[in-house]
């Protein structure tokens, strides 16, 4: 935890000190000008700024959590670069402004006092809010890089507490700190840390496919360094230097460090211009020779040192390690020719294997039980000449390596036997052949559902053509529920899904946009008083699109691997859209759609049940319990006449209970995609 706390500690200390100094000067100025009555205005602005900063962090976390894997990588990489820009600008601004910092704030306070309480609130809000937003962005980025939030949050909290103590001491005049020197030294350290964040951001963008060079490694020391060792963890947590880095990461890291550090040091050491000397009237007698001052260190020395020292330290560690990984981790060669070379019976317990691809093709590598083919651990997409870590818990049983090169046949190593340990969890792999029967059953369910959907949309269209809008609202709900119950197929429907059930997101003119079609277009019109004449064309278009989908579906490519994913994703989307009210265009039927999504998920679980039982006999029963609880809560909001309570009309307690129950259900569903993932080890 502590290895990744230092960057956040430093940013918390600096930003906290900046914001704290601003507040201290504001308070001191008001106290000395006998304006204590206005102190609450300062604290109001401060509280609002803190709230904004925390909300910003929550938005970043929520946004990232609801993106796909590649989108998360792109989002994180982009924000890493934004954080680097902000930190760099902050470092240079404080280096330039530290001397006149207090005077500038006093001038702003004096101006605010003459313009009323509101301006004083805004002054404190803007002054503290900027630091808070920068802290939230950098803290979120650091947590993403660390893969955990405990260390960065602890570090930031410690930095903020110390900053608060320093500001109190400065305010009470019991401390004397050279702020210029403090911000200069910490600025230099932050530049080093920011260079690592920039490199990490490049790697994220490469993983997302935004930038090229994902497999072009500048070096790969993972065979020589134990990724779990304290020194590797410390360097990675503080500087974002990893045993395996691409050329782009190294280039950006080194370029940023060399350029920014040089400019920073040059700005710190730039000599002040001497005042012009008056003209001498006559030559003076020769003066004694002035003793030569010690020669200053060249300006390039600091950035060169900061670039060279980590490289020298890394080289020394490799030399001392004698080319062997630390601790008891094994180096296992994997390829079509050398699958499992170097593998010997490990001791029981949690073990780290350094898996090195010695072949010429990218490969999928699995640690398996050769008797049952169950998978203990896996490394996907390991490039030729690279090494990746595989961590697995070893118990009593048989172990072997299975190597599957891209475009090649699977090769299995000789097996070893381990005794003296407990049982180790393993996942029985699933092949596309295993999913063939569930897929066929679900395709038949969807095909039948599309036939019923077409009949429902024709009824809806007839209602609108006959100007029976009250009946149309009832039939709209029946048709929309029918479509929602086919949720597992939405990834296959492609463009048809947008036409049939699309929302206004991304449309320039919102509900008035010509691209807004389908169920939600009719929903908006039916519940916002549009005449039948305006709704006739969208109703005909909906029927046409459903008929086209029904005709096209038998030829659509339905990836078998999508079935396990949808078991979790359907209700995940429900929580984000229906239970938030985001997809409600006036009907207030979000809970009806939720019930239909539960039905679609249950249908999917029914066809997957035989595969799930073989891999986790208890899981289907646990899921069924939480499905029943969720459905009971949802159905409690349907009246006897069939009408539903709108999500927006639920009381806070009911809404929290419903969201919490769906959240728990999602946790129970989360293992399904992993258990039933299509693996080449099968």
Cβ neighbours of 409 (radius 10 Å): 8
Residue 226, pLDDT score: 55
* 59 vs 454, more confident: 454
Is 50 exceeded by the pLDDT of residue 340?
Answer: yes
Alpha carbon distances (Å) from 655 to 417, 575, 576, 647, 660: 53, 11, 13, 8, 8
Handedness of CA 584, 587, 592, 597 (dihedral sign): negative
Residue % of the chain over a pLDDT of 70: 75
Is 60 exceeded by the pLDDT of residue 285?
Answer: no
Is 80 exceeded by the pLDDT of residue 382?
Answer: yes
DSSP letter for each residue of 326-382: STTPEEEEESSSSTTBT--PPPSEEEEEEEEE-SSS-EEEEEE-TTT--EEEEEEEE
* Neighbouring-strand partners of residue 16: none
Average pLDDT score over residue span 268-294? 48
Q: Judge whether 572 and 670 are in contact, CB under 8 Å.
A: no
* pLDDT tens, residue by residue, 156-198: 788 788 878 887 877 776 566 676 777 777 778 878 878 888 8
3-state secondary structure 491-542: HHHCHHHHHHHCCCCCCCCHHHCCCCCCHHHHHHHHCCCCCHHHHHHHHHHH
Reported as a pLDDT band with limits 50, 70 and 90, residue 145 is: low
Distance between CA atoms of residues 404 and 340, nearest Å: 12
Residue 149, pLDDT score: 60
Domain spans in the chain, listed from the N-terminal domain onward: 2-197, 330-418, 436-675
Is 70 exceeded by the pLDDT of residue 216?
Answer: yes
Residue 347, pLDDT score: 87
Average pLDDT score over residue span 486-502? 82
Could you give the angle at the alpha carbon of 351 between the alpha carbons of 348 and 353, nearest 5°? 130
Closest CA to 574 of 484, 653, 508, 636: 484
Equal CATH topology for 330-418 and 436-675: no
Average pLDDT score over residue span 207-222? 75
* pLDDT tens, residue by residue, 630-644: 999 999 999 988 899
Residue 120, pLDDT score: 65
Is 60 exceeded by the pLDDT of residue 313?
Answer: no
Lowest mean pLDDT among 343-352, 544-553, 659-668: 343-352
Reported as a pLDDT band with limits 50, 70 and 90, residue 1 is: very low
Strand order of the β-sheet with 387-394 is 330-334, 349-357, 387-394
Residue 381, pLDDT score: 85
Tell me if residue 405 falls in helix, strand or coil.
Answer: strand
* 336 vs 309, more confident: 336
Is 80 exceeded by the pLDDT of residue 135?
Answer: no
Handedness of CA 647, 651, 653, 654 (dihedral sign): negative
Q: What phi, psi does 377 have (nearest 5°)?
A: -170, 160
Handedness of CA 500, 505, 511, 514 (dihedral sign): negative
Residue 108, pLDDT score: 58
**Superfamily for 330-418?**
Cupredoxins -  blue copper proteins (2.60.40.420)
* pLDDT tens, residue by residue, 12-43: 777 777 777 767 777 776 777 677 777 787 78
Reported as a pLDDT band with limits 50, 70 and 90, residue 320 is: very low
Average pLDDT score over residue span 113-132? 67
Lowest mean pLDDT among 242-246, 531-535, 604-608: 242-246
Tell me if residue 441 falls in helix, strand or coil.
Answer: helix
Give start and end residues of each alpha helix (H) in 147-229: 150-171, 179-207
Closest CA to 327 of 229, 254, 462, 421: 229
Q: Judge whether 224 and 323 are in contact, CB under 8 Å.
A: yes
CATH domain 436-675 topology: A middle domain of Talin 1 (1.20.1420)
Residue 303, pLDDT score: 45
pTM score of the predicted model: 0.54
Is 60 exceeded by the pLDDT of residue 654?
Answer: yes
Distance between CA atoms of residues 39 and 332, nearest Å: 66
Q: Judge whether 124 and 45 are in contact, CB under 8 Å.
A: yes
Is 50 exceeded by the pLDDT of residue 324?
Answer: no
Average pLDDT score over residue span 51-79? 69
**466 CB-near residues (< 8 Å, 6+ apart):** none
Is 60 exceeded by the pLDDT of residue 294?
Answer: no
Distance between CA atoms of residues 8 and 83, nearest Å: 12
Average pLDDT score over residue span 123-131? 70
Most confident stretch, 192-201, 278-287, 332-341: 332-341
Average pLDDT score over residue span 136-148? 65
* 166 vs 531, more confident: 531
Q: Judge whether 186 and 159 are in contact, CB under 8 Å.
A: no
Cβ neighbours of 95 (radius 10 Å): 17
**330 CB-near residues (< 8 Å, 6+ apart):** 342, 343, 344, 346, 351, 353, 354
Distance between CA atoms of residues 374 and 425, nearest Å: 9
Reported as a pLDDT band with limits 50, 70 and 90, residue 297 is: very low
Region for 163 from its dihedrals, namely left if φ exceeds 0, alpha if ψ lies in -120 to 50, beta otherwise: alpha
Is 70 exceeded by the pLDDT of residue 281?
Answer: no
Is 70 exceeded by the pLDDT of residue 444?
Answer: yes
* pLDDT tens, residue by residue, 88-100: 887 787 767 655 6
């Amino acid at each position: 935890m502590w290895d990744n706390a230092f960057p956040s500690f430093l940013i918390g200390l600096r930003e906290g000190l900046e914001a704290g100094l601003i507040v201290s000067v504001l308070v001191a100025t008001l106290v000395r000008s006998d304006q204590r009555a206005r102190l609450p205005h300062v604290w109001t602005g401060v509280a609002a700024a803190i709230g904004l900063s925390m909300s910003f962090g929550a938005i970043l976390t929520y946004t990232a959590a609801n993106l796909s894997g590649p989108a998360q990588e792109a989002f994180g990489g982009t924000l890493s670069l934004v954080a680097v820009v902000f930190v760099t600008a902050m470092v240079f601004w404080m280096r330039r402004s530290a001397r006149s910092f207090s005077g500038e704030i006093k001038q702003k306070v004096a101006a605010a006092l003459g313009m009323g309480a509101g301006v004083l609130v805004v002054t404190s809000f803007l002054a503290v809010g900027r630091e808070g937003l920068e802290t939230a962005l950098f803290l979120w980025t650091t947590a993403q890089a660390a893969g955990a939030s405990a260390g960065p949050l602890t570090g930031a909290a410690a930095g903020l507490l110390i900053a608060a103590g320093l500001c109190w001491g400065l305010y009470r005049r019991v401390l004397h700190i050279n702020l210029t020197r403090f911000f200069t030294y910490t600025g230099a350290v932050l530049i080093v840390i920011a260079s690592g964040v920039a490199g990490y951001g490049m790697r994220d963008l490469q993983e997302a496919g935004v930038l090229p060079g994902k497999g072009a490694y500048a070096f790969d020391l993972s065979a020589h360094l134990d990724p779990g060792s304290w020194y590797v963890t410390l360097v990675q947590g503080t500087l974002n230097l990893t045993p395996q880095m691409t050329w782009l990461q190294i280039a950006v890291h080194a370029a940023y460090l060399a350029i920014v550090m040089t400019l920073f040091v040059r700005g710190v050491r730039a000599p002040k211009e001497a005042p012009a000397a008056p003209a001498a009237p006559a030559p003076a007698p020769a003066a004694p020779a002035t003793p030569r001052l010690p020669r200053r260190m060249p300006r390039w020395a600091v950035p060169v040192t900061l670039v060279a020292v980590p490289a020298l330290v890394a080289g020394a560690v490799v030399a001392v390690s004698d080319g062997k990984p630390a601790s008891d981790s094994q180096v296992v060669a994997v390829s079509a020719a050398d699958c499992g070379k170097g593998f010997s019976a490990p001791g029981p317990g949690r073990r780290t294997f350094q898996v090195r691809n010695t072949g010429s093709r990218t490969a999928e590598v699995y640690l398996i039980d050769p008797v049952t083919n169950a998978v203990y651990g896996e490394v996907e997409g390991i490039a030729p000449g690279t090494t990746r870590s595989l961590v697995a818990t070893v118990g009593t049983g048989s172990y072997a390596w299975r190597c599957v090169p891209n475009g090649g046949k699977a090769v299995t190593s000789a097996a070893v036997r381990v005794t003296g340990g407990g049982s180790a969890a393993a996942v029985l792999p699933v092949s596309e052949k295993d999913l063939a029967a569930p897929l066929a059953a679900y395709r038949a369910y969807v095909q039948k559902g599309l036939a019923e959907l077409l009949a429902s949309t024709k009824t809806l269209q007839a209602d609108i053509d006959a100007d029976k809008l009250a009946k149309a609202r009832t039939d709209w709900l029946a048709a929309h529920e029918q479509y929602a119950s086919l949720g597992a197929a939405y990834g296959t429907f492609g463009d048809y899904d947008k036409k049939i059930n699309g929302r206004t997101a991304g449309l320039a003119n919102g509900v008035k946009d010509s691209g807004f079609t389908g169920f939600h277009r009719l929903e908006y019109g039916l519940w916002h008083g549009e005449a039948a004449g305006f709704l006739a064309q969208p109703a005909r278009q909906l029927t046409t699109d459903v008929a086209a989908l029904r005709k096209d579906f038998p030829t659509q490519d339905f990836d078998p691997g999508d079935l396990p994913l949808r078991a979790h994703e359907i209700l995940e989307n429900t929580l984000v859209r229906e239970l938030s009210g985001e997809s409600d265009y006036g009907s207030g039927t979000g809970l009806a759609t939720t019930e239909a999504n539960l039905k679609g998920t249950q249908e999917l679980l029914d066809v997957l049940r035989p595969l799930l039982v073989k891999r986790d006999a208890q899981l289907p029963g646990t899921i069924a319990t939480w499905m029943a609880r969720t459905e009971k809560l949802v159905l409690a909001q349907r009246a006897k006449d069939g009408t539903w309570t709108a999500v927006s009309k639920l009381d806070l307690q009911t809404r929290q209970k419903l969201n919490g129950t769906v959240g728990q259900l999602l946790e129970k569903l989360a293992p399904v995609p992993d258990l039933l993932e299509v693996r080449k080890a099968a």
